[in-house]
Amino acid sequence: MLRVNGLFTRLTGRQNIALTTAQEVPAPSSAPASTGNAVVTYAGGTLTVTATYSGLSSDLVSGNTSYPSYYVGHVHNGVAGQSGPIVFVFTNLSGGTSGSVPTQSFTLNDANRALLANQSFYINLHTVNNPSGEIRGQIICNSAVKNLPFAALLVALIVTSGLVF
């Protein structure tokens, strides 16, 4: 299996992200005033997220058999314009139609770092009215990542495509 240990050690940055209904796939059924803002930092092997949201069309989805005491917000794998699977789950969200995502930190493995470098992570908050997602914000890496050597970018693409050598 191809390993990329240490390849993305220059993956650092901070980003302010607008969470909007316009970025959702599929588009929400009703969410005229929904907005949010997230601050994302990434350094070495850690992705840190904090966010606020307001004007949601309904409360955040809450409680299920796997996670009975959390409100539904995630970091997903997917490029802009595409939905994707959950990678990281937010905990301790305040719930309701307005609130916050307290600071969450996630350890990135090599595959996650490649996804981040490939602009393949997004933040998604799910509501009762829009369980597939009401507001979304794409995580876009800063220029330090874009300036990785060609070989590093090539490995990132190979890792995200699932090719095994």
Q: Is residue 163 part of a domain?
A: no
Domain of 74 in residue numbering reads as 12-157
Alpha carbons 26 and 163: distance in angstroms, whole number: 29
Alpha carbons 114 and 7: distance in angstroms, whole number: 9
Q: Is residue 7 part of a domain?
A: no
- The amino acid occupying position 112 is N
Q: Is residue 84 part of a domain?
A: yes
Report the CATH number at residue 90. 2.60.40
Per-residue pLDDT of the chain (165 residues; tens, 9 = 90+): 233 334 444 567 889 999 999 999 988 988 678 999 999 998 878 999 999 999 999 988 876 555 544 568 999 999 999 999 999 999 888 788 999 999 999 999 989 988 988 899 999 999 888 888 999 999 987 644 444 455 555 555 565 555 555
Q: Is residue 66 part of a domain?
A: yes
Q: Is residue 128 part of a domain?
A: yes
**pLDDT value, residue 81:** 95
**pLDDT value, residue 57:** 92
Alpha carbons 22 and 136: distance in angstroms, whole number: 8
Sign of the CA dihedral running 41, 105, 129, 131: positive
How many structural domains comprise the chain?
1
Q: Is residue 18 part of a domain?
A: yes
Contacts of 23 (CB under 8 A, 6+ apart): 80, 122, 135, 136, 137, 138
Q: What tokens were used for 30? A: 């009703």
**pLDDT value, residue 11:** 60
Q: Is residue 56 part of a domain?
A: yes
Q: Is residue 132 part of a domain?
A: yes
